[in-house]
Structure 1
């Protein structure tokens, strides 16, 4: 623990205005306060009252009030410092230990002195240094925080070489690989300079840190790789626990793996670095891309699980429906279009569940009602979906590609039977029914209601009760 000593003697009784009435105490507090500020702005530390600089214990003589000392330090600092005090008896003498922790805030004395501890001395904290401290300490981006205990000895130069070479392959126009190693890291925000000393950011440690340094400074940083022989297996047959730089880990893993990666969310600097190194596209697209790729390739949806301090993502490699994959590719190529994620998700849902209603489409795609409606309308425009009542179903030509004509007939027959049952139940309670009633009851448009009425009349289930503009229908008496 870092410590400083201040001699302190009291020979008179104390009172509530002790600092004003006793010049010795006031002078002592004026000496102690900057020391405590410097400690709190660094790693914390302890100041001992009653000990000379050479280590001689003179003790605190006479009656004194520890509470008054704590109050005085509190009043002389901004934000106020909370100090812990302890009386230590030593060979018949009393020593007072005043301890402060680093609470993450930047403290100053009330006369405006902002100090930090450097070895055994206090140094002023200048504005340009403070701006960097504020940007890291008060930034929600955990990955941009500076590891003050780190140095250039924690950097793996081989990892820098790997980053540069891979960037040259991914982006031949980039000038980053031509930079000096330290300038390269500084430009990426992976290191900072403070008084001529190099310190790594969290992102810097994860990209170019030595394995031993990662384990030392960030032991929770770990990627767990699990590989299953078959999708239905409960037990995995391969497991790797990786505590290595990010790019090394990415290069070891492949797209056919199930990966569980526990990490702190929303690490902006890490995401931006991966983007600048051309490992990812712009931030904010990741989830959409993952979903779109899995849907268009006929794979199961990725599974996200959220925990208090981590997110787990499972990506499956198996293909569920090769016919859907072929159909999507053929449609996009023939029409020179690219289906949106919402459109792909709707198509897949209808393929698996025969139909979808508008509200379910909104819920499934997690878009606005207008966006969901546009997706449904576009799929109708390309003759992929058709409406049956308030439901959307695959068209006959899609059934020909993905299912069969028999299934298409069966699905439409089921829809008609539902409408038929609703209409009969209605007429068993009411004397007659209008076309408008049928539209409302079955969720049909005008043409669908007309076709249903004609079919029911052919089956001798209903007959006209009134014709003309105000036509209505009643059950046929049997």
Structure 2
């Protein structure tokens, strides 16, 4: 892939970041520093190294010894362990030559040949820096890449006899209560430990795994061997702290103590939908359970910090130390294959029945907000160090809930894609397929299929054709909600009405532009173009000017 002049200048304009590094080559950058810069990118997210560019973005060019860039890839491969394969191309900017070194993200830890191990991070001022990769961070990095399972590590310094037998009773109780694997109930304690991977043989003795310690350990053992493990439950009213509890107990016991603290703060009203009375809680219990269990299971146990459950006037926030695992991002959260930082722990919790067994607990969290007409859960405060989800304490839209319940009574559970689409249209009234695709996190083709199914079931009405096709909630839904006039405003006007509106606008202002027509008739710019072209063909208007400045007058 060749980089053109505009692309390289755009890269330099962006400035340095975690995935973009500038290196001066005026005095010939030493090989050791060049290789270390490549290693730091490979150990983070990969990216580009621009050789011949100063830290402030000034292009000073390549040293004479680096003008032949063909020697850079073998140099880097020979001086990295394991070898990093980079692509290098020479580019021109402001009349000077620079080298663009494309560094792939490594799927394992990489060091220089002399053992120098570094990674990149952002400083407090937002600028990047290279820092040493310390030994305690190795397991964290390998876990995020899915190379090791920290929760399956055997703790040979702990004997299985030190574990708390009462916690096995909690496991059995949870299986009965939450519908876990019933076959586990018939197993003896040792068999249960083995079946769930809680204990394993090592050097002729039985020792707990990290998962076994988290589930069966005593509070003293957890403090000694998992010092990062802690759970905080807080309730704040404005600046007053009403509840501030901290837990270091085994995982199931902690869940059993936090869950009642949450439930006493759930307030419910009921509405009548047909023959049924439907509860409307301020916080959905299943959504809370999935979010809380996710935080407990997917946290990074090598990083200090508690799992926080915080209830404020604004809503419920649950956060845990450790960012999203490798491959999970905000823009694919709903569609990425399920994966965990602690696979064995996640498997145990699913088999007990505490978590969604399909691995799609995120859908349940979204459903717990959207089906009540509330905003979607907000993960935007998450970063590389923390995953945080906020569930806003907003009033339920009872008309929207009735619509969902009636549909579920006829056709079964409404898919999460449909809930997202209906929720956005409820808020923004009129949207295209392209508008909705980022929220659903699927291709426009898949979104269009869902939209047309909603049209068939009578939830939506389409307007227009082609790429300019828009969708609104149907007249029937607005009628049920007693908002007939609002439907007319959102659905727009008939073509003949649109033409009359355009002509009246021209009479009042002398001419009209495409943007004015789109705003006047509540249609997309593409549909406004078609409307004006149709009026021109029917000798109602004539274009004046060309390009973006075109306006239309009466003919």
* Bucket of the pairwise TM-score, normalised by the shorter protein: 0.5 to 0.7
C-alpha contact 1:224 1:241 (8 A) present in aligned 2: yes
Cα offset, 1:290, TM superposition: 1.0
Cα offset, 1:329, TM superposition: 0.6
C-alpha contact 1:327 1:402 (8 A) present in aligned 2: no
Point out the structure with max Rg over C-alpha.
1
Give 3-state SS (helix, strand or coil) of 1:315's partner: strand
C-alpha contact 2:421 2:440 (8 A) present in aligned 1: yes
Match of 1:202 among 202, 205, 210: 210
Give 3-state SS (helix, strand or coil) of 2:176's partner: helix
Residue 262 (str. 1) matches residue 323 (str. 2): no
Cα offset, 1:170, TM superposition: 4.1
CA distance in 2, matches of 1:419, 1:442: 16
**1:329 maps to which residue?**
405
Aligned CA distance change for structure 1 residues 440 and 157 (closer, same or farther; 3 Å): closer
Give 3-state SS (helix, strand or coil) of 1:294's partner: helix
CA distance in 2, matches of 1:385, 1:350: 9
Cα offset, 1:147, TM superposition: 2.1
**1:375 maps to which residue?**
450
C-alpha contact 1:291 1:301 (8 A) present in aligned 2: yes
**1:462 maps to which residue?**
540
**1:411 maps to which residue?**
490
Give 3-state SS (helix, strand or coil) of 1:314's partner: strand
Match of 1:241 among 240, 246, 251: 246
Aligned CA distance change for structure 1 residues 293 and 171 (closer, same or farther; 3 Å): closer
**1:443 maps to which residue?**
527
Cα offset, 1:188, TM superposition: 0.3
CA RMSD of superposed structures (Å)? 4.2
Give 3-state SS (helix, strand or coil) of 1:303's partner: coil
Gaps of at least 5 residues in structure 2 are: 1-113, 115-134, 263-284, 289-310, 326-339, 514-520, 543-551
Aligned CA distance change for structure 1 residues 288 and 445 (closer, same or farther; 3 Å): farther
C-alpha contact 2:175 2:181 (8 A) present in aligned 1: no
C-alpha contact 1:242 1:249 (8 A) present in aligned 2: yes
Give 3-state SS (helix, strand or coil) of 1:383's partner: coil
Count residues in correspondence. 321
C-alpha contact 2:174 2:180 (8 A) present in aligned 1: no
Q: TM-score, with normalisation over the residues of structure 2?
A: 0.50
C-alpha contact 1:346 1:365 (8 A) present in aligned 2: yes
Residue 294 (str. 1) matches residue 294 (str. 2): no
**1:395 maps to which residue?**
474
Give 3-state SS (helix, strand or coil) of 1:443's partner: helix
Cα offset, 1:414, TM superposition: 7.7
CA distance in 2, matches of 1:321, 1:207: 40
Gaps of at least 5 residues in structure 1 are: 1-81, 83-101, 106-133, 431-437, 465-473
Aligned CA distance change for structure 1 residues 407 and 235 (closer, same or farther; 3 Å): farther
Runs of 4+ in 1 over 6 A off after TM superposition: 102-105, 414-425
Q: TM-score, with normalisation over the residues of structure 1?
A: 0.57
CA deviations on 1:32-85 (whole Å, 9 max, x unpaired) are: xxxxxxxxxxxxxxxxxxxxxxxxxxxxxxxxxxxxxxxxxxxxxxxxxx9xxx
**1:44 maps to which residue?**
none
**1:127 maps to which residue?**
none
CA deviations on 1:223-277 (whole Å, 9 max, x unpaired) are: 2222345xxx465522222222221122222437635342455211111101111
CA distance in 2, matches of 1:172, 1:362: 36
CA distance in 2, matches of 1:192, 1:324: 51
**2:200 maps to which residue?**
192
C-alpha contact 2:181 2:353 (8 A) present in aligned 1: no
Match of 2:154 among 127, 132, 146: 146
Cα offset, 1:154, TM superposition: 3.7
Matches of residues 150-229 of structure 1 in structure 2 within 5 Å? 150-171=158-179, 174-228=182-236
